[in-house]
Structure 1
Amino acid sequence: MSPDERHEKELKPWVKPLLEFGPILLFFVAYGRLKAQEFTILGEVYSGFIVATGLFIPLLMITTFILWRLTGHLSKMQIMTLVLVVVFGGLTIWLNDASFFKMKPTILYIFFASALGVGLLRGESYMQTMMDSALPLTDEGWLILTKRLALFFVALAVTNEFVWRTMSEDAWVKFKTFGLMGAMFAFFLAQSSLLARHSTEDKDES
């Protein structure tokens, strides 16, 4: 076991979820407090949503850096999320247009669906490469799970587009904060039968 793995294992179980989901929850709180206000900065009028976005970007950068220092590495999803938040959040503030930040989840999910799809076309599961130690599955199980997750990411991208384009800003913020996290949790919970059917744990123990 490497020093980084030992270091990550020593983390208290609440630290990683706090660093990953804390910024999202704080964005929700900040938006709730600022949404009815307008702020004039350097002669430009910004809505509460734009200001909350401006607070979210450095907060996510700080928590991601702390997570990297504690664990010694970042997942591809964490890196891609940070990059898209900085790029689309920056465009939101620069152009004073909330739509860029609202599109960020769509781009993120389409990117990962496409990456998983490319692997599947090659007969490979990129999830297996990234998470093999986390989920003891057969090769067939990994391919099935990867197909389902790719389709799930496409569904999340389509749903995000529908919500932010057709519903209120309040509805999108609630969807972003709780809907996406809840959907991800529900997806993996729904895979319990697949994980049990294709598990390699019994084989490893024997």
Structure 2
Amino acid sequence: MKQLLDFIPLIIFFVLYKMQDIYVATGALIAATAVQIIITYLMFKKVEKMQVITFLMVAIFGGMTIFLHDDNFIKWKVTLVYLIFAIGLTVSHVIGKSAIKGMLGKEITLPELIWARVTWAWVAFFLVCAGLNIYVAFSLPLDVWVNFKVFGLLAATLGFTLITGVYIYQHMAKEDAEAKSSE
């Protein structure tokens, strides 16, 4: 349910962009993201830092897009969010408090090396997405960028999440097999 809730603002943005324009879609994105955070809090009594950062970036860059009537700001928002996530993962890992391990470590037991590899893989993924967004946003037409933002980055994120899950599962299975063979 929570994952579906995360996609609603993106869907609203896409539909309104196709029906109206980037400015109406951006305003709706800001409102929908705010509502998403409120609903998330009411349902789960918790809002993740990632959601708050995303909302702040949407509100700031979306607001500048609308008020200055310049779609470049909303395009930069995507890149900056990915860069913030990459920096956040890097810093959390370097100070010994891996954010990914913090999110998943309660349910999954893995060696530190595997947590590190997963963290660095996500850092690389976010950096690649940030770079791709810059290229698509500023080299191709707005329609192409909107489709890339909504479908390309979403598909890439879902695909990379799946790959990460398979990688983690492989290492969980090895640990479980080793534990059973030693019994």
TM-score by length of 2: 0.88
Are the aligned partners of 1:57 and 1:85 in contact in 2 as well (CA < 8 Å)?
yes
Counterpart of 2:80 in structure 1 is: 107
Identity %: 34
Q: Does 2:6 align with 1:23? A: no
- Hey, what's the Cα distance between the residues in 1 that align with 2:65 and 2:162? 34
Equivalent pair of 1:102/1:164 in contact (CA under 8 Å) = yes
2:65 equivalent among 46, 67, 92: 92
2:136 is aligned to 163
- 3-state SS of the aligned residue for 1:57? helix
| Mapped contact 2:12–2:28 kept (Cα < 8 A) | no
Deviation per CA, 1:71-95: give whole Å up to 9, x if none.
Answer: 1111111111111000110111111
Task: Tell me: CA distance 1:21–1:135, structure 2 relative to 1, closer, same or farther (3 Å).
Answer: farther
- Going from structure 1 to structure 2, the CA distance change for 1:135 and 1:180 (only over 3 Å counts) comes to farther
Is 120-129 or 17-26 further displaced after alignment? 120-129
Distance of aligned partners of 1:61 and 1:134 in 2 relative to their CA distance in 1, 3 Å threshold: farther
* 1:4 aligned residue: none
Q: Which residue of structure 2 aligns with residue 9 of structure 1?
A: none
8 Å Cα contact 2:65-2:72 kept in structure 1: yes
Corresponding residue for 2:44?
A: 71
With over 3 angstroms needed to count, the CA separation of the structure-2 counterparts of 1:139 and 1:22, relative to structure 1, is same
Q: Which residue of 2 aligns with 1:52?
A: 25
The number of residue pairs the alignment matches comes to 179
User: What's the CA shift for 1:172?
Assistant: 0.7
Residue by residue over 1:135-179, the C-alpha shift from the partner in whole angstroms, topping out at 9 and shown as x without a partner, is 443322111100100011000000000000001110111111111
1:150 to 123, 129, 138: 123
Shift of 1:197: 3.2
Cα gap change, 1:18 to 1:190, in 2 (>3 Å) = closer
Q: Which residues of structure 2 form unaligned runs of 5+?
A: none
User: How does the TM-score come out when normalised to structure 1?
Assistant: 0.79
- Decide whether the 8 Å contact of 1:106 with 1:160 is kept in 2: yes
How many angstroms does 1:60 deviate by?
Answer: 1.4
Structure 1 residue 112, shift from structure 2 partner: 1.2
Give distance in 2, aligned partners of 1:172 and 1:100: 13
Deviation at 1:133, TM superposition (A): 2.6
- C-alpha separation between the residues in 2 aligned to 1:204 and 1:99? 54
Task: Report whether the alignment pairs 1:32 with 2:18.
Answer: yes
Q: In proportion to residue count, which structure has more helix?
A: 2
